[in-house]
Amino acid sequence: MSWGSGGAGRGGYHCGMDLDEIVGKVKARDRRTVARLISLVEDESPQLAEIVRAIGPLSGGAAIVGLTGAPGVGKSTLAAALVSEIRAEGRTVSVLAIDPTSPFTGGALLGDRLRMQDHATDPGVFIRSMATRGRLGGLAWATPHALRILDAAGADVIILETVGVGQAEVAVVHAADTAVVVLAPGMGDAVQASKAGLLEIGDVYVINKADREGARAAARDIEQMLDLGAAGEWRPPVIETVAEQGTGVGALWQAILRHREHLGRSGGLRRRRLDRAGREISEIAVASLRASIGGVGDGAVLAGLAEEVVDRRLDPYAAAEKLLGRAGGP
Amino acid sequence: MSWGSGGAGRGGYHCGMDLDEIVGKVKARDRRTVARLISLVEDESPQLAEIVRAIGPLSGGAAIVGLTGAPGVGKSTLAAALVSEIRAEGRTVSVLAIDPTSPFTGGALLGDRLRMQDHATDPGVFIRSMATRGRLGGLAWATPHALRILDAAGADVIILETVGVGQAEVAVVHAADTAVVVLAPGMGDAVQASKAGLLEIGDVYVINKADREGARAAARDIEQMLDLGAAGEWRPPVIETVAEQGTGVGALWQAILRHREHLGRSGGLRRRRLDRAGREISEIAVASLRASIGGVGDGAVLAGLAEEVVDRRLDPYAAAEKLLGRAGGP
């Protein structure tokens, strides 16, 4: 139940390993191999198809917990505190933090992840941030790949943490087994959360920084807005936490486990997995189609067509048709 | 220079109008027609291709200002204050607020937009929120369509305001002529902004709620982080505002105008328009390919393939190939 650290060679197929070796290393939870596979996802490597095929049979065991909320509510701190809670039960956990591509802000991110360093030497914990570039469709394409790799590498729990809170992030977290929406008093409160579409996706709500003024009111607001929503089989609980001190984090973990039990009983777990697989298949198909367009994003054909559109010699629909025609598309 | 309000019929081609009528109504800045065309974008209507073709020659005159930042920093209030500033100069302005699909939060949004109601009776102002569903690719597909419609209808300035702040939202605002990133003391501050990828995309930075504690420090942090960034021809200014009182909003508008002059001098305006047109063409092409996949998202074929993937009888890449095969794709 722990992550190995055997070194891997360089060069050749992938880091000098053939497919069988990669599968073996993933099975053995070799950290460096797993880290490199996530890098392949970031690089949108064409090798991923065979790797996903090969490691697929190893996956399906992890519980996927999504964590989203506005910047500044304390998601990273909460994720680190959850890791402690999960580890105390002896389960292995992987944290996947989805970062936007941010070349000149590496330092800031690192500083913020310092709390995670407490777990860096724990062989039962694997932490990785992933920057998505978006050529093949960004988050929607990359996240299922990364989850499949972490799952195949035997994580009992995967915490998927987003940094932004937009359409793509909300969709990704919504596809987790349990979607946790994190709020904080005075920021990301009920109205703001509803504006960001967060009040429809949470299975569990957290008011973090609950020692601050306005925490009770924020929790009450969320409860009231949830009362207005459609009554389902599962009423999302609202948990107050002070992640910095670990307060309430046990209660949060229990709520996540209760939600998971509910999913198991109600058939919801299979529905979510079908939904997630459906999205994964679609995104792979769309990425393949995008690739068939050819130079989209940086190609000379597209640049020429863009000139014609800006100069109003061509409308964008006609330009898109020409682009598809060059790519031999439908 | 104002929006007409002539009624339009119902039924038939589009609201009972043929294409020539639509073009005429858009030219005449008929509010109801413009509102209905934006609804067609929300509905991802197949009629858009011809409409975009027909109104395209009318577009190209608007200055597009993007406004992004975490929920709660006061973007809507700032947008309303900017409208006053722009109207004082006699220019017409349209506000396009991108909302995630939020069926049970209409009330909250409406409340928040109350400030905008000050402008509701001004014939030189057009305000519209747009919910994107995401079947055809969400924001990336819908936004250029809506901008083209508002542009063709003669807005001098279009303010594009996002509610969330994620990968898709950042990309959309980045494609504006001038990208304004809004922060507030204690939330969405420098570190959080850099985490959300906001410090790479701003042409102008705003510290709103600048009468609150920590505003000076927040402004200083942003200045310092901008100093660390690549030195370009344009150093983004950091403007402090209290949008509720209108404080600093004039300075913000002047900064936007200065950035626009800079774009004109440096050739940057054409570069941004080429970039925007390129994205628009790609997204239309990808949407057309997505449509050719057929039942993606809700189809029976996809559902069957998802079952096979969840039951590990098929890997997701093989499933994607089957999906493309059924669609007659490449």
Where is the domain boundary, B223, B244, B268?
Answer: B268
Q: Where are the beta strands (DSSP E) in A178-268?
A: 178-183, 204-207, 238-240
Chain B nearest-CA distance from A56, in A, is 7
pLDDT for A140 equals: 82
Q: Is there a single domain that holds both residue B233 and residue B295?
A: no
Q: Cα separation of B188 and B198, whole Å?
A: 10
Q: Cα separation of B97 and B128, whole Å?
A: 6
pLDDT for B295 equals: 52
Chain A nearest-CA distance from B264, in A, is 15
Is A70's Cβ below 8 Å from some Cβ in B? yes
Lowest mean pLDDT among A169-178, A259-268, B31-40, B143-152: A169-178
Within 10 Å of residue B289's Cβ, how many Cβ atoms?
A: 25
**From A52, A60, A72, residue closest to B316, measured CB to CB:** A52
Average the pLDDT over A279-300 and give the result: 75
Q: Is there a single domain that holds both residue B262 and residue B299?
A: no
Chain B residues lying within 8 Å of A109, measured CB to CB: 194-195
Q: Is there a single domain that holds both residue A100 and residue A239?
A: yes
Q: Cα separation of A200 and B159, whole Å?
A: 27
**From B101, B197, B296, residue closest to A282, measured CB to CB:** B296
Q: How far is CA A138 from CA A99, A101, A283, B179, in A?
A: 11, 10, 10, 21
pLDDT for B104 equals: 36
Chain B interface, best mutation among A105, A274, A321, A323, by max B CB count within 10 A: A105
Q: Is there a single domain that holds both residue B174 and residue B261?
A: yes
For residue B117, being part of any structural domain is answered with yes
Q: Is there a single domain that holds both residue A256 and residue A309?
A: no
Report the DSSP beta bridge partners of residue A98.
A130, A162
Interface of A with B in 178-237 (CB under 8 A): 186-197, 199-200, 225, 228-230
Residue A138: name the closest of A277, A283, A274 by CA: A283
For the record, the structure tokens of A131 come out as 């920057």
Chain B residues lying within 8 Å of A148, measured CB to CB: 316
Please check the confidence at residue A318 and state whether its pLDDT lies above 90.
Answer: yes
For residue B316, being part of any structural domain is answered with yes
Chain A interface, best mutation among B47, B195, B225, by max A CB count within 10 A: B195
Chain A nearest-CA distance from B175, in A, is 13
pLDDT for A287 equals: 84
Residue A270: name the closest of B302, B307, B312, B314 by CA: B307
Specify the pTM. 0.80
| CATH number of the domain residue A83 falls in | 3.40.50.300
Chain A interface, best mutation among B143, B167, B189, B201, by max A CB count within 10 A: B167
For residue A91, being part of any structural domain is answered with yes
pLDDT digit string (tens) for A49-83? Answer: 999 999 988 988 999 999 998 877 888 899 999 99
**From A138, A278, A316, residue closest to B277, measured CB to CB:** A316
Chain B nearest-CA distance from A297, in A, is 7
Q: Is there a single domain that holds both residue B165 and residue B309?
A: no
CB B301 within 8 A of CB B326: yes
**Which residue type is seen at A160?**
L
Largest Cα–Cα distance of chain A, in whole Å? 65
Average the pLDDT over A141-157 and give the result: 93
pLDDT for B147 equals: 94
For residue B20, being part of any structural domain is answered with no
Phi, psi of B272 (to 5 degrees): -65, -40
pLDDT for B136 equals: 59
What is the H or E stretch that residue A56 is in?
none
Q: Is there a single domain that holds both residue A224 and residue A294?
A: no
User: Nearest residue on chain B to A111, judged by CA atoms?
Assistant: B191
Which residue did the predictor score with more confidence, B32 or A136?
A: B32
Residue B284: name the closest of B129, B33, B15, B53 by CA: B53
For residue A88, being part of any structural domain is answered with yes
Q: How far is CA B216 from CA A108, A190, A213, B207, B223, in A?
A: 20, 28, 23, 9, 11
Domain extent, residue B211, equals 58-268
In A6-113, alpha helices (H): 19-27, 31-42, 48-55, 75-88, 106-112
Q: Are the Cβ atoms of B53 and A315 closer than 8 angstroms?
A: yes
Q: Is B135 left (phi over 0), alpha (psi -120 to 50) or beta?
A: alpha
For the record, the structure tokens of B166 come out as 């994620």
For the record, the structure tokens of A182 come out as 């994190």
| Residue whose pair of structure tokens reads 């690192």 in the numeric block | A110
**From B60, B144, B323, residue closest to A285, measured CB to CB:** B323
Residues 6 or more apart whose Cβ sits within 8 Å of residue B132:
A167, B42, B98, B100, B101, B138, B139, B141, B142, B143
For residue A310, being part of any structural domain is answered with yes
- Look over chain A and give the mean of its residue pLDDT values, rounded to a whole number: 83
For residue B278, being part of any structural domain is answered with no
Q: Cα separation of A276 and A177, whole Å?
A: 9
Q: Is there a single domain that holds both residue A122 and residue A229?
A: yes
pLDDT for B11 equals: 39
Q: Cα separation of A319 and A305, whole Å?
A: 6
Chain B nearest-CA distance from A183, in A, is 11
CB B125 within 8 A of CB B154: no
Residue B30: name the closest of B210, B153, B172 by CA: B153
In A121-267, alpha helices (H): 139-152, 167-174, 190-195, 215-228, 249-266
Within 10 Å of residue A58's Cβ, how many Cβ atoms?
A: 17
Q: Cα separation of A134 and A284, whole Å?
A: 13
Q: Is there a single domain that holds both residue B185 and residue B311?
A: no
Q: Cα separation of B95 and B41, whole Å?
A: 16
**From A165, A228, A317, residue closest to B165, measured CB to CB:** A165
pLDDT digit string (tens) for A86-103? Answer: 999 999 999 998 876 543
User: Nearest residue on chain A to B273, judged by CA atoms?
Assistant: A310
Please check the confidence at residue A5 and state whether its pLDDT lies above 50.
Answer: no
Q: Is there a single domain that holds both residue B307 and residue B263?
A: no
Chain A nearest-CA distance from B138, in A, is 8
Q: Are the Cβ atoms of B285 and A320 closer than 8 angstroms?
A: yes
Q: Are the Cβ atoms of A167 and B169 closer than 8 angstroms?
A: yes
Q: Cα separation of A308 and A319, whole Å?
A: 8
Residue A210: name the closest of A74, A70, A111, A80 by CA: A74
Say if residue B152 is exposed, middle or buried (CB neighbours under 10 Å; 0-12, 13-18, 19+): buried
Q: Are the Cβ atoms of B102 and A200 closer than 8 angstroms?
A: yes
What is the H or E stretch that residue B40 is in?
helix B31-42
Chain A nearest-CA distance from B34, in A, is 19
Domain count for chain A, please give it.
2
Interface of B with A in 254-293 (CB under 8 A): 270, 273-275, 277-278, 280-282, 284-286, 288-290, 292-293
Please give the interface size between A and B, counted as residue pairs whose CB atoms are below 8 Å apart. 321
Q: Cα separation of B279 and B328, whole Å?
A: 25
Model ipTM value: 0.83
Q: Cα separation of A118 and B82, whole Å?
A: 46
Chain B residues lying within 8 Å of A57, measured CB to CB: 312
Chain A residues lying within 8 Å of B60, measured CB to CB: 310, 312
Chain B residues lying within 8 Å of A169, measured CB to CB: 164, 166-167
Q: Is there a single domain that holds both residue A298 and residue A158?
A: no
Chain B residues lying within 8 Å of A186, measured CB to CB: 72, 187
Where is the domain boundary, B268, B294, B316?
Answer: B268
Where is the domain boundary, B243, B268, B293?
Answer: B268
For residue B277, being part of any structural domain is answered with no
Q: Cα separation of B209 and B78, whole Å?
A: 10
CB B46 within 8 A of CB B154: no
Q: Is there a single domain that holds both residue B73 and residue B208?
A: yes
Chain A interface, best mutation among B42, B129, B289, B321, by max A CB count within 10 A: B289
Average the pLDDT over A124-135 and give the result: 80
Report the DSSP beta bridge partners of residue A242.
A247
Q: Are the Cβ atoms of A274 and B315 closer than 8 angstroms?
A: no
Phi, psi of B93 (to 5 degrees): -145, 140
Tens-binned pLDDT, residue by residue, of chain B (330 aa) = 455 544 443 334 555 678 999 999 999 999 999 999 999 998 888 889 999 999 988 988 999 999 998 877 888 899 999 999 999 999 999 999 887 654 333 333 444 455 666 787 888 999 888 877 656 567 888 899 999 999 999 999 999 998 777 777 888 888 899 999 999 887 656 666 776 677 788 999 999 999 999 999 989 988 988 888 777 889 999 999 999 999 999 999 999 999 999 999 999 999 999 988 988 898 898 888 777 775 544 578 888 999 999 998 999 999 999 988 765 444
Q: Is A251 left (phi over 0), alpha (psi -120 to 50) or beta?
A: alpha
Please check the confidence at residue A112 and state whether its pLDDT lies above 50.
Answer: no
For B30, the 3-state DSSP assignment is strand
Q: Where are the beta strands (DSSP E) in A105-228?
A: 125-132, 157-162, 178-183, 204-207
Please check the confidence at residue A248 and state whether its pLDDT lies above 70.
Answer: yes
Please check the confidence at residue A174 and state whether its pLDDT lies above 70.
Answer: yes
Q: Are the Cβ atoms of A53 and B318 closer than 8 angstroms?
A: yes
Interface of B with A in 97-116 (CB under 8 A): 99-105, 108-109, 111-112
